[in-house]
Structure 1
Amino acid sequence: MLTLTSGAVQVIRTVTANPELPPDTGIRIESGLDGSDALRLSVAPAPEAGDQIVEEQGAKVYLEAAVAELLDDKTLDAQVDSQGDVAFTIAEGPGGIPT
């Protein structure tokens, strides 16, 4: 199952903390458009049917079924740069090399 770093947990909780959002709001990762190898990440009000749910310390990540299989042994990390932009990265295993 996908694991989350403490940085990813903190960023996801911050992004989804808006009191106007539904309580099940999380980050959803799905496959790219038109068969692309790229993954799409978005804020989602709830999981979609068939999504795998990863929850850690209040941070929710919803994974499309095919993406859940692809990221099964990976780690999600997130960092915020000096301009406040968020960058998510996926690494091999816990603390692995970014992919």
Structure 2
Amino acid sequence: MLTITPDAATAVRAIVEASEVPTEAGGLRIAKDAEQQALALSLAAVPAEDDTVVDAAGARVFLDQQAAQLLDDKVLAAGSDEQGRVQFGIGEAPTA
């Protein structure tokens, strides 16, 4: 299952809180974009019926079925660029 770093959890919570998405049930949704063959991020008020929900320290991330498969052994991290904008990255999970 996707792992979320503490920095990414903080970023997700901040994005949801700053939006019009209800903070109790809302979250960041990651879905496979069929046209672009890439992952797309969006805000969602609730997860879709078949989404996998990952909750890390109150930060909710919803993964569509394809994204859940692609990100099963990955880590979601976050940082800021030079202008202070949040940037997310996907990396390999550390091996035990």
Query: Common fold, TM-score beyond 0.5?
Result: yes
Q: Report the aligned-residue RMSD.
A: 1.7
- The equivalent residue for 2:28 is 27
* Structure 1 stretches of at least 4 aligned residues deviating more than 4 Å after TM superposition: none
- The equivalent residue for 1:59 is 59
Match of 2:11, SS state, is helix
Match of 2:17, SS state, is coil
What's the CA shift for 1:71? 0.4
- The equivalent residue for 2:5 is 5
Residue deviations 1:63-87 (CA, integer Å, cap 9, x gap): 0011101100000001122423111
What TM-score comes out, normalization by structure 1 length? 0.86
Q: Look up the equivalent residue of 1:49 and give its one-letter code.
A: E
Q: Is the 8 A contact 1:24 1:46 kept in 2?
A: yes
Match of 1:17, SS state, is helix
* Identity over aligned pairs, percent: 41
What's the CA shift for 1:43? 1.0
- The equivalent residue for 2:17 is 17
- The equivalent residue for 1:85 is 85
Once residues 32 and 63 of structure 1 are traced to their aligned partners in structure 2, the CA distance between those partners, rounded to angstroms, is 12
Residue deviations 1:1-43 (CA, integer Å, cap 9, x gap): 0000111011001111248531211000001142x32100111
Q: Is the 8 A contact 1:29 1:41 kept in 2?
A: yes
Any gaps of 5 or more consecutive residues in structure 2? none
Any gaps of 5 or more consecutive residues in structure 1? none
